[in-house]
Amino acid sequence: MCSATTPSLLPEDLTVKPIVQALPAQSSIHIIPSELLRDILSRLGLKANIHASLVCKTWFQVAVSVRKLQPRPWLFYQMNGEADGDYVLLDRLRSQAYKVYFSDLKDHEFSCSKDGWLLVSKKKFPSYLVFLFNPFTREHIYLPKAAPTSSCLVISLNDRSICSSIEIATWRPGETLWTTHRFENLLPGRRWKSCVFSNGVLYCLTTFSNIGIFDPSRATWNILPVEPCPAFFQVDLCRRVLMTEHEGGIFVMLTIRNKNPLMFKLNLKRNAWEEKRELGGLTVFASHPTSLTRAGLSVEERNRIYPSHNGHLGVYYSLGDGIISSRFPSSNYLSNRIAWVDPPHNNFNL
């Protein structure tokens, strides 16, 4: 069953709990070499970094210096009423829009967004053309070929809900062909609606709140014994079921245009869905291809969901108080042809 949680007064993920146990005297603390300390703290997520900064003044200074605050994602979409190749990159923070032209994105769909790259699929009879595309650098990488980084992994799940098997294909840098894995379909008749990669595995969600996990390192497929959540069972053609993750936490959003979305978090210890009335200070940029989370944004932006749509600034849903900023656009709401995308950390020219 799914359970509700009451909102806390302070954002849980951005604050720290009091330390009850006293620290030992300074003379008995083992001093970690500064370079090693910097390397250790640089590997921590934001929440763990904040906790580590409480140890002492030295740790505080190093933790702050290596603290990683992700930039706000930009919105990438096709201009309404324009030619097929006219697109916009929208920097929501600065209210700046850049018109760009990409002729080869006609009849495209975005399947995923990660580290500034979009996984694009286009219908090319009798199959699909799949490639990686960076709207900031204009790079195209057609699969299977070279990858943007050595750590790149592409996973494709073929949803054959009525078949007796699940088919998952993987591709890594250096491989010239896709590797196909077939597993017994333990949930026949259930459609796989959304997926997200976290903790080194791919979490896949059905329309009935079932969770399947594909581990690419072991090439295994398992179904988690998660208790069904009735909120997932409601059938609505306007509803979007979106998944996202933050530092290992798995979230699902049930959204309907101009209605309050529902947010659930997967409790992996209890194997149950828990409804969340606040996000612990997180901000979610929701889109059909991939929903991105951010921590440490301004107080006004925390506990908000920003849906993807064509060019409207400031449209959001506030999870804490249930406020919708304005009526959401009637067209292209959470379309698979609109995506939030991470901007590059270095300078770039559009």
In this predicted structure, what is the pLDDT of residue 265? 95
Q: How far is CA 151 from CA 40, 70, 147, 341, 342, in A?
A: 21, 19, 9, 19, 17
* Confidence grade of residue 141 (pLDDT, cut at 50, 70, 90): confident
In this predicted structure, what is the pLDDT of residue 202? 95
CA dist 267 and 252 (Å) reads 12
Where are the extended beta strands (E) located within 268-350?
272-275, 283-286, 292-294, 304-307, 317-318, 323-324, 339-341
Q: What percent of the chain has pLDDT over 90?
A: 23
Dihedral angle sign, alpha carbons of residues 272, 277, 282, 287: positive
Q: What is the mean pLDDT of residues 4-12?
A: 41
In this predicted structure, what is the pLDDT of residue 72? 87
Mean confidence (pLDDT) of the chain: 79
In this predicted structure, what is the pLDDT of residue 10? 36
In this predicted structure, what is the pLDDT of residue 232? 84
Closest C-alpha to 64, from 36, 42, 34, 32? 42
CA dist 182 and 221 (Å) reads 9
* Confidence grade of residue 340 (pLDDT, cut at 50, 70, 90): very high
In this predicted structure, what is the pLDDT of residue 341? 93
* Confidence grade of residue 220 (pLDDT, cut at 50, 70, 90): very high
DSSP 281: T
In this predicted structure, what is the pLDDT of residue 159? 66
Q: Is the confidence at residue 184, as pLDDT, over 80?
A: yes
Q: Are the C-beta atoms of residues 213 and 221 closer than 8 Å to each other?
A: yes
CB atoms within 10 A of CB 136: 19
In this predicted structure, what is the pLDDT of residue 8? 39
In this predicted structure, what is the pLDDT of residue 48? 78
* Confidence grade of residue 15 (pLDDT, cut at 50, 70, 90): very low
Dihedral angle sign, alpha carbons of residues 213, 252, 239, 74: negative
* Per-residue b or e along 288-325, where b marks 16 or more CB atoms closer than 10 Å to that residue's CB: bbbbbbbbbbeeebbbbbbbbbbebeebbbbbeeeeee
41-47 CB contacts, 8 Å cutoff, 24+ apart: 41/66, 42/66, 42/68, 45/247, 46/13, 46/14, 46/247, 46/295, 46/296, 47/13, 47/14, 47/247, 47/295
The pLDDT tens digits of the residues spanning 123-135 come to: 665 567 888 899 9
Closest C-alpha to 93, from 313, 272, 322? 313
In this predicted structure, what is the pLDDT of residue 205? 92
Q: Is the confidence at residue 81, as pLDDT, over 90?
A: no
Poorest-pLDDT segment among 164-178, 201-215, 259-273, 301-315: 301-315
What's this model's pTM, rounded to 2 decimal places? 0.76
Q: Are the C-beta atoms of residues 212 and 192 closer than 8 Å to each other?
A: yes
In this predicted structure, what is the pLDDT of residue 154? 83
The pLDDT tens digits of the residues spanning 229-285 come to: 888 877 565 677 899 999 899 999 987 666 778 899 999 899 999 999 888 889 999
* Confidence grade of residue 326 (pLDDT, cut at 50, 70, 90): low
Poorest-pLDDT segment among 31-35, 119-123, 149-153: 149-153
Q: Are the C-beta atoms of residues 47 and 14 closer than 8 Å to each other?
A: yes
